[in-house]
């Protein structure tokens, strides 16, 4: 039996009412024989991509200097409030990898005068949703609530953000969960491939190439979490993003009451240097006996988020592997049938993140699939058609307005604007900038950023079945690794409580 919530029932009633009105008021249907048969000989032509014109973005500060970025989105009485802090995985100290993530995970496990269950009950009672998470460079406390419950919900959000208690019992429980996840990762070829790819492209302790291991997780203490929070969760290092059916006159007094008294000295988040580029070509074959398929990851160091060719890179990668009709997917899935899906992408961060192409492929065609990847990486540097360029520009442009459909997705975009100090007109100019990308732009970024002679290739699969074919390619030196070489020894859960 499907249960429909109150707000869904109201929407459904309104929709059904519209159908009834249209049925009653609409013109009489033409006789069936008089209808013109649709022309299905060719697909309909696309109109011009829609332009994006967002409401004004308000910016103001609380009395403690905490910046607030607000966009009104009227129509539904809900609001999304995010506290975005410049503190993420890159701020983990050596031997304490996982500290930023564990700090964020623990912040809603007890805050203010409430323990974890009391806090969860209070949020549920309001019909709100409150979450905390850590990313590579930022952490965030996110609140989604009806406007009618906003004031009470903000009080709970401020307790979580500013006054977490980090109870020992909850830390022990989450530690066991993370250790269990490490153990499960040993059976996940996708995770093994991605982790080794990152640590290979970003070696020697670079923050984009490390992850928490058993020793680091066991070393984390309540003191570590509280210290990380005190050091980096400060108003000078944060911003509040608000999107919803509210305005500054309503929000400012509430935010001042809940966050205006937040004090703290200056915070110093980590700076990340650009990693050295991959040189040469090496295949890292990670043996997973009995694997049903092979996971392939290919790539190198990419670009940072503020690269001057950002829009050209988006269009170029759409042609290569960024859409269902891209070259990689059309080749490996539609033409060859080697994979259910293949693609590529650039992870753009404050420092240059990875460019990565990959797929899960059938074991018996691992070598053939790898050669198709290399072929497509070469081809994107040499030949692009006008049809491909037009289709890619339209694909990126037509999808972009969809990123502003919900208050949560809008808040995410505004968070990027804060983190990267994007100009006020950035979102409204986005589509025009995409459509302005030329063929010369695509060739330039492809030849600058895609180099199949200087790449890392990581393959996780059944060595006995795939190594002979890979060696016969004579494509690159092959380094054989075990799962233990990548992830370390299996965590011992016997000593965990």
pTM over 0.75: yes
Cα distance between residue 443 and residue 421, in whole Å: 28
Contact (Cβ atoms closer than 8 angstroms) between residue 396 and residue 434 = yes
What SS3 state is found at 112? Answer: coil
Q: What share of the chain is helix, strand, coil (3-state, %, to 5)?
A: 45, 20, 35
How far is CA 315 from each of CA 78, 251, 435, rounded to the nearest angstrom? 35, 39, 9
Check if 57-259 and 281-494 are the same fold: yes
Q: What are the tokens at 353?
A: 């993140």
Cα distance between residue 80 and residue 342, in whole Å: 34
E strand or H helix that includes residue 354: strand 352-362
How many CA atoms lie less than 13 Å away from 193 in the CB half-sphere? 26
pLDDT given for residue 45 in this prediction: 75
pLDDT given for residue 50 in this prediction: 66
Cα distance between residue 12 and residue 101, in whole Å: 40
To 5 degrees, how large is the angle CA 26–CA 29–CA 32? 160
Contact (Cβ atoms closer than 8 angstroms) between residue 333 and residue 362 = no
Cα distance between residue 443 and residue 240, in whole Å: 40
How far is CA 274 from each of CA 90, 227, 353, 453, rounded to the nearest angstrom? 13, 28, 8, 20
Other residues' Cβ atoms within 10 Å of the Cβ of residue 83: 24
- Homologous superfamily (CATH) for 57-259: Metalloenzyme, LuxS/M16 peptidase-like (3.30.830.10)
Cα distance between residue 355 and residue 343, in whole Å: 11
Distance of CA 310 to the CA centre of its chain: 17
Selection from 315, 355, 286 nearest residue 436 by Cα: 315
Which contacts (CB < 8 Å, 24+ apart) does range 378-382 have? 378/452, 379/327, 380/316, 380/319, 380/320, 380/327, 380/446, 380/450, 381/443, 381/446, 381/447, 381/450
Q: Where in the chain are the domains?
A: 57-259, 281-494
> What CATH code is assigned to 281-494?
3.30.830.10
How far is CA 32 from each of CA 23, 29, 37, 329, rounded to the nearest angstrom? 18, 8, 10, 42
Selection from 381, 391, 272, 268 nearest residue 322 by Cα: 391
Cα distance between residue 412 and residue 403, in whole Å: 9
Q: What is the DSSP letter of 390?
A: H
Q: What is the DSSP letter of 66?
A: -
pLDDT in tens, the chain (497 residues): 333 333 333 333 333 333 333 333 344 445 545 567 777 888 777 667 667 788 889 999 999 999 999 999 998 999 999 999 999 999 999 999 999 999 999 999 999 999 999 999 999 999 999 999 999 999 999 999 999 999 999 999 999 999 999 999 999 999 999 999 999 999 999 999 999 999 999 999 999 999 999 999 999 999 999 999 999 999 999 999 999 999 999 999 999 999 999 997 788 889 999 999 999 999 999 999 999 999 999 999 999 999 999 999 999 999 999 999 999 999 999 999 999 999 999 999 999 999 999 999 999 999 999 999 999 999 999 999 999 999 999 999 999 998 998 999 999 999 999 999 999 899 999 999 999 999 999 999 999 999 999 999 999 999 999 999 999 999 999 999 999 999 999 998 875 55
Pairing mode, if any, of strands 352-362 and 129-134? unpaired
Residue 15 phi, psi dihedral angles, 5° rounding = -65, -45
- Give the DSSP per-residue string, 131-188: EEEE-SS-EEEEEEEEGGGHHHHHHHHHHHHH-B---HHHHHHHHHHHHHHHHHHTT-
């Amino acid at each position: 039996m499907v249960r429909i919530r109150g707000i869904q029932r109201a929407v459904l009633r309104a929709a059904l009412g519209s159908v009834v009105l249209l049925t009653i008021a609409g013109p009489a249907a033409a006789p069936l024989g008089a209808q013109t048969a649709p022309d299905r000989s060719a697909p309909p032509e696309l109109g011009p991509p829609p332009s994006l014109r967002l409401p004004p973005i308000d910016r103001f500060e609380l009395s403690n200097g905490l910046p607030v970025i607000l966009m009104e989105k009227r129509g539904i009485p809900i609001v999304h409030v995010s506290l975005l802090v410049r503190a993420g995985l890159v701020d983990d100290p050596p031997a304490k990898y996982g500290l930023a993530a564990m700090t964020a995970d623990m912040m809603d496990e007890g805050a203010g005068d409430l323990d974890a269950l009391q806090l969860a009950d209070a949020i549920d009672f309001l019909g709100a949703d409150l979450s905390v998470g850590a990313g590579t460079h930022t952490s965030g406390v996110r609140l989604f609530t009806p406007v009618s419950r906003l004031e009470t919900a903000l009080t709970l959000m401020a307790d979580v953000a500013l006054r977490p208690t980090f109870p020992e019992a909850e830390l022990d429980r989450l530690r066991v969960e993370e250790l269990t996840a490490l153990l499960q990762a040993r059976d996940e070829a996708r995770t093994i491939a991605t982790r080794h790819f990152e640590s290979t492209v970003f070696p020697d302790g670079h923050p984009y190439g490390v992850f928490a291991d058993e020793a680091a997780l066991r070393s984390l203490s309540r003191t570590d979490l509280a210290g990380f929070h005190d050091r980096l969760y400060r108003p000078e290092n944060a911003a509040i993003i608000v999107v919803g059916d509210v305005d500054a006159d309503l929000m400012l007094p509430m935010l001042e009451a809940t966050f205006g008294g937040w004090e703290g000295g200056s915070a110093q988040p980590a700076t990340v240097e650009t990693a050295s580029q991959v040189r040469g070509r090496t295949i890292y074959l990670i043996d997973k006996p009995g694997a049903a398929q092979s996971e392939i990851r290919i790539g190198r160091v990419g670009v940072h988020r503020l690269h001057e060719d950002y829009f050209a890179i988006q269009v170029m990668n759409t042609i290569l592997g960024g859409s269902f009709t891209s070259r990689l997917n059309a080749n490996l899935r539609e033409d060859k049938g080697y994979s259910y899906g293949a693609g590529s992408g650039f992870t753009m961060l404050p420092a240059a993140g990875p460019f990565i192409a990959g797929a899960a492929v059938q074991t018996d065609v691992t070598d053939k699939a790898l050669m198709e990847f290399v072929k497509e990486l070469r081809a994107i540097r040499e030949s692009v058609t006008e049809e491909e360029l037009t289709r890619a520009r339209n694909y990126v442009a037509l999808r972009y307005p969809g990123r502003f459909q919900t208050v949560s997705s809008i808040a995410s975009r505004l968070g990027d604007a804060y983190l990267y100090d994007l100009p006020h007109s950035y979102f409204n100019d986005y589509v025009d900038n995409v459509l302005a990308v030329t063929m010369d732009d695509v060739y330039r970024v492809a030849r600058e950023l895609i180099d199949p002679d200087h790449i890392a290739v990581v393959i996780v699969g059944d060595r006995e079945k795939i190594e002979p074919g890979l060696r016969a390619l004579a494509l690159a030196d092959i380094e054989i690794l075990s799962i233990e070489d990548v992830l370390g020894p299996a965590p011992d859960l016997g000593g965990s409580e």
